């Protein structure tokens, strides 16, 4: 039988100080980056117009840019998205009369509009507040579910791990200034679900092992549980990673943002369920044990 790990026994919880610091550093840097340069909101959230246009004759991005600035559209973002195909983004202020301006700008050219996304600034800001609400509600529901099924400390560990995953992925999107769109947001919520999946599998083992190995120190039980579920974690993460990778490669530009966010999320989610969610239980128990002892 093919096995990735034969009786694995890695000291995972022992490295928790190091991994906590690593996560904290990335998250803090991410927060700084969010304050300094923020997120690169796409038209979904910032408002504006994004058009994918295919031309039937060769035209350069420079030529297009010149046409746009002639017609009073200062400096739209123009990216090539294929052969004689461009993705043109106009910001919210300039996009109000974009229909007329576009007609003028492109008059005389043979082109077809492949895709147009035009979002008013009002809708954009509504989307932002709705998204924050959606992620918040998802986290609260999960907190309730795990508290009912496990214990509060498990729930808090899980939610911290999820918040960790969202923050780290957000940090990467902010560092690299990748476009933050609605599909990326959907990926974030999926990451929450996926990472939770991982965390719960580990928690389940911990819960089971606490009963089997009574008297053993918690950190040992947790380490054992992580090791026991290690091959499952790796196989599942690997398959999910691979299918999402296929999506990123072949899914086209519409799904690219989603796939990239998912790829990062799968890695971060796997890491967090082993190195964040479980070790937090130890930190939590230590704290309360001290309190209990003080009471006595």
Partner 1 sequence: MKEYLLFCPKQQDNIEQNMEVNFGMSKNLIWRYLFIVVLLGWALYALMPTMQYERLSNADKTALEEEGKLFDLESKIIKRGLDLQGGMHLILEINVPKFIKKIADHQSRAYYDFMDKVDAIYSENPELDYLDIMLEAANTDSLRLSRYFPTENRKTDNKAVTDNLQKECEQAVVRAEEIIRNRVDEFGVSEPVIQLIGNKRIIVELAGIDDPQRAKDIIHNTALLEFILLKDAEYSQDIINRIDAAVKRTSPGDIAQLDTAVISNKVSTDKEISVSELLGLEEDNGVASDSSVLVDENLAAERPFSALLRNLGWDIGVPVENYYAVNRILTDSEVTRVLPNDLRILLSGKTQKVETVDGGTAEFYTLYFVNREPGLTGEAVKEAKAELGSVSSEQMGQPLVNVRMNTEGTKTWARLTGANIDKRLAIVLDNKVQMAPNIKSKIPNGRTVIEGFASLQEAQDIEIVLKAGALPAPIDIIEERTVGATLGADSIERGVKSALIGMAIVALLIIAYYRGAGLIAFGTLVLNIIFVLAILASLRATLTLPGIAGLVLIMGMSVDANVLIFERIREEYLKGKTIRSAVENGYSRALITISDANLTTLVTALVLWHYGSGPIRGFAVVLFWGIVFNFVSGYFISRTVFITFSHGKKPLKKLSI
* Residues of span 207-236 touching partner 1 by CB under 8 A: 207-208, 210-211, 228-229, 231-232, 235-236
Phi, psi of 227 (to 5 degrees): -65, -40
Pair 200, 193: CB distance under 8 Å: no
Site string for partner 1, 236-275 (x = CB under 8 A): x-xxxxxxx-xx-xxxx-xx--xx--x-------------
The residues pairing with 89 across neighbouring beta strands, listed in sequence order, are 50, 77
Q: Are strands 179-180 and 40-41 parallel, antiparallel or unpaired?
A: parallel
* Residue 15 or 121 having the CB closest to partner 1: 121
Indicate the length of the chain as a whole number: 296
145 counts as binding partner 1 under rule CB under 8 A: yes
193 counts as binding partner 1 under rule CB under 8 A: yes
Report the C-alpha gap between 15 and 284 in whole angstroms.
16
* Residue 35 or 250 having the CB closest to partner 1: 250
- Smallest separation, CB 222 to partner 1 (Å): 14
- Smallest separation, CB 205 to partner 1 (Å): 8
Work out which of 26, 31, 92, 138 binds partner 1, going by CB under 8 A.
138
* Residue 33 or 282 having the CB closest to partner 1: 282
DSSP state of 51: E
Size of the site for partner 1 (CB under 8 A): 75
* Residue 15 or 232 having the CB closest to partner 1: 232
Instruction: Name the strand (E) or helix (H) holding 212.
Output: helix 182-212
* Residue 12 or 196 having the CB closest to partner 1: 196
* Residue 17 or 211 having the CB closest to partner 1: 211
Q: Which of residues 30-49 bind partner 1 (CB under 8 A)?
A: none
Long-range contacts of 212-218 (CB under 8 A, 24+ apart): 218/281, 218/282, 218/285
* Residue 26 or 189 having the CB closest to partner 1: 189
The CB-side HSE value for 39 (13 A sphere, CA atoms) comes to: 19
Report the C-alpha gap between 81 and 52 in whole angstroms.
8
- Smallest separation, CB 24 to partner 1 (Å): 25
| Helix, strand and coil in the chain, % to nearest 5 | 70, 10, 20
- Smallest separation, CB 254 to partner 1 (Å): 6
Interface segment toward partner 1; rule CB under 8 A; list 20-28, 34-42, 164-172, 184-192:
184-192
Work out which of 109, 182, 218, 267 binds partner 1, going by CB under 8 A.
182
Q: Which residues of 216-250 are buried (b: 16+ CB within 10 A; e: fewer)?
A: eebbebbbbbbbbbbeebeebbeebeeebeebbee
204 counts as binding partner 1 under rule CB under 8 A: yes
Tokens of 294: 């003080």
Crossing angle of helices 182-212 and 218-228, in 10° steps, is 120
Interface segment toward partner 1; rule CB under 8 A; list 13-21, 32-40, 57-65, 177-185:
177-185
Q: Which of residues 64-123 bind partner 1 (CB under 8 A)?
A: 99, 112-123
Pair 248, 148: CB distance under 8 Å: no
160 counts as binding partner 1 under rule CB under 8 A: no
């Amino acid at each position: 039988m093919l096995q990735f790990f034969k009786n694995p026994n890695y000291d995972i919880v022992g490295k928790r100080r190091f991994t906590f610091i690593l996560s904290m550093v990335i998250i803090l840097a991410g927060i700084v980056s969010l304050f300094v340069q923020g997120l690169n909101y796409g038209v979904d959230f910032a408002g504006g117009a994004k058009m994918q246009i295919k031309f039937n004759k060769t035209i350069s991005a420079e030529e297009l840019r010149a046409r746009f600035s002639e017609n009073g559209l200062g400096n739209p973002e123009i990216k090539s998205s294929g052969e004689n195909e461009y993705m043109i983004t106009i910001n919210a202020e300039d996009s109000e009369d974009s229909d007329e301006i576009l007609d003028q700008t492109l008059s005389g050219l043979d082109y077809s509009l492949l895709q147009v996304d035009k979002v008013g600034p009002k809708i954009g800001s509504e989307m932002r507040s709705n998204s924050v609400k959606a992620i918040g509600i998802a986290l609260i529901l999960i907190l309730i579910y795990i508290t009912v099924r496990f214990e509060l400390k498990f729930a808090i560990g899980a939610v911290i791990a999820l918040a960790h995953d969202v923050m780290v992925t957000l940090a990467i999107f902010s560092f690299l200034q990748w476009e933050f769109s609605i599909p990326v947001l959907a990926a974030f919520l999926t990451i929450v679900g996926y990472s939770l999946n991982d965390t719960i599998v580990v928690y389940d083992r911990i819960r089971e092992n606490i009963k089997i190995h009574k008297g053993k120190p918690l950190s040992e039980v947790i380490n054992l549980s992580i090791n026991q579920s290690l091959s499952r974690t790796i196989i599942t993460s690997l398959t999910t990673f691979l299918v999402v990778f296929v999506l990123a490669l072949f899914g086209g530009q519409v799904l690219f943002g989603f796939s990239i966010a998912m790829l990062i999320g799968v890695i971060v989610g796997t890491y967090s369920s082993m190195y964040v969610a479980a070790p937090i239980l130890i930190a939590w128990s230590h704290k309360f044990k001290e309190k209990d002892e003080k009471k006595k």
